[in-house]
Amino acid sequence: MANTILVGAQWGDEGKGKIIDVLTEQADVVVRTQGGNNAGHTVFIGKQKYVLHLVPSGILRKRKLCVVGNGVVIDPVSLVAEIDGLRQFGVKCEGNLFISETAHLVFPYHRELDAQREILKGKNKIGTTKRGIGPAYGDKAARTGARMIDLINPPRFEEVLRNKIKENNEILKAFGAKPLSFKKVHAAYRAAGDRLKPFVVNTVVLLHEAVRQQKDILFEGAQGTFLDLDHGTYPFVTSSNTTAGGACTGSGVPPHRMDRVVGVMKAYTTRVGEGPLPTESAEIADMLHAMGREFGATTGRARRCGWFDAVATRQATMVNGIDELAITNVDGLDTLEVIKACVGYRIGTRRYDYVPNDIELLSKCQPIYAEFPGWRRPTHDTRHWKELPARARAYLKAIAELTGARLAIASVGPAREQTIFL
């Protein structure tokens, strides 16, 4: 399969988990390289639903090496809960999961600060997952963070945590929030540290050994291109590089070892949280929500929905270098008479063929739509490209062409089998 970076080409929740699970069959190693437990990657195996937050989705297949790379931020208590939850379903992490020594830690004060800053922002809030992601990456950039390597060194961790709690309690008090008890946090984190210690290794060395042995590595992106800290709709973004470059910095595997980039996108658009979404449409949102679809895997929030936005996905191809596309949730459009896809933006008489960086301009952008006739037939039982309705094939080919990459996978349902390879 070669070394593959998989990224979300929209605003997250594109169906990366499902596609990762499908592609893992041919991979030896699956690596998370950025984000934290703000991610929620859904995988169905038979009727069983799994939602993965920090553990790579590759864990659901046996004998695949799973790595949480240096670029990820880890809430250790939540990671232990995830590992225990997986064990209840017979999924064993011991021996298959490796966690970077240098991944940064998320602490309860990060979560609290995340929540307090959102309250302070009022109507301008980002709509974060409140998992403490922004403050944790903030500490990393400010060089005031703590890492896994500190967590598993008890005397060092005690000293580091004591100072951190002291400093952050002052900030929490200024927000009018309750200060944290060092004792409680210390006890919880030390217990998690003891549990996680056997998983913690130098993942850069581990991954380079895999590269040397010509193993196939799959880099599991979290979030999506327009949530990228540099390339997204700032400030309505997450705090990591969700685009392809993040796979290198977040793993220590260099760019020239990467062979291809797969972009995952829905056949329409969704976004959870605040910020501009040019093709947002109540019509499509009502339809999908009535079908019980498009509720967040991490927070349960109803996702905002809209028509497919090719201006955005074209830009995703540009910044990620997407070679191949996996288009998911094709079946979500099965009942529509007319399907729209945005081919450009307009503000007054000015046309934009790219996503403007100025958030105010982007908020004013009106989509220019191309219309496609709907196929109005269920697609969820389709397993081969030729069996898809001709109108569905035409729509998928058109949006792939507008996006500027080769259509490689079409997904017609959440299950592994509901996958069409081209």
Known catalytic residues are 13, 41
CB of 273 to ligand IMO, least distance (A): 2
Candidate residues 297, 305, 311, 365; the one interacting with Mg ion per rule CB under 5 A: 297
Candidate residues 55, 192, 272, 339; the one interacting with ligand IMO per rule CB under 6 A: 272
Site for ligand IMO contains 222 (CB under 6 A): yes
Site for ligand GDP contains 134 (CB under 6 A): no
Three-class secondary structure assignment of 277-318: CCCECHHHHHHHHHCCCCECCCCCCECEEECEEHHHHHHHHH
User: In this complex, which beta carbon is closest to ligand GDP, that of residue 169 or of residue 269?
Assistant: 269
Question: Could you give the angle at the alpha carbon of 178 between the alpha carbons of 175 and 182, nearest 5°?
Answer: 120
Site for ligand IMO contains 32 (CB under 6 A): no
Site for ligand IMO contains 39 (CB under 6 A): yes
d(CA 17, CA 41): 4
Q: Which does 18 bind (CB under 5 to 8 A by kind): ligand GDP, Mg ion, ligand IMO, none?
A: ligand GDP
| Tokens read off for 140 | 């990393």
Candidate residues 10, 17, 137, 251; the one interacting with ligand GDP per rule CB under 6 A: 17
Do residues 224 and 11 make contact, with C-beta atoms less than 8 angstroms apart? yes
Site for ligand GDP contains 15 (CB under 6 A): yes
Do residues 244 and 323 make contact, with C-beta atoms less than 8 angstroms apart? no
Residue 190's nearest CA partner among 219, 221, 150, 224 is: 150
Q: Which does 70 bind (CB under 5 to 8 A by kind): ligand IMO, Mg ion, ligand GDP, none?
A: none
Candidate segments 25-33, 39-47, 91-99, 164-172, binder of ligand IMO by CB under 6 A: 39-47
Write out the H or E segment, with its range, that includes residue 85. helix 76-88
| Tokens read off for 269 | 């658009």
Q: Which residues lie closer than 8 Å to 143 by C-beta, 6 or more apart? A: none
Site for ligand IMO contains 315 (CB under 6 A): no
d(CA 399, CA 184): 52
- Per-residue binding string, ligand IMO, 226-265, x by CB under 6 A, is -x----------xx--------------------------
CB of 380 to ligand GDP, least distance (A): 7
DSSP structure class, residue 256: G
Site for ligand GDP contains 328 (CB under 6 A): yes
Site for ligand IMO contains 104 (CB under 6 A): no
Q: Which does 145 bind (CB under 5 to 8 A by kind): ligand GDP, ligand IMO, Mg ion, none?
A: none
**If you search the block for the tokens 């799994």, which residue do you land on?**
50
Do residues 355 and 386 make contact, with C-beta atoms less than 8 angstroms apart? no
Cis upstream peptide for 235 (omega within 30°): yes
Do residues 399 and 322 make contact, with C-beta atoms less than 8 angstroms apart? no
CB of 215 to ligand GDP, least distance (A): 23
Gyration radius of the chain's alpha carbons: 21
Give, as ranges, the residues between 15 and 74 that touch Mg ion (CB under 5 A): 40
Write out the residues near ligand IMO by the rule CB under 6 A: 8, 12-13, 38-41, 126-129, 131, 133-134, 222-224, 227, 238-239, 272-273, 297
Write out the residues near ligand GDP by the rule CB under 6 A: 8, 12-18, 40-42, 44, 297, 328-329, 331, 411-414
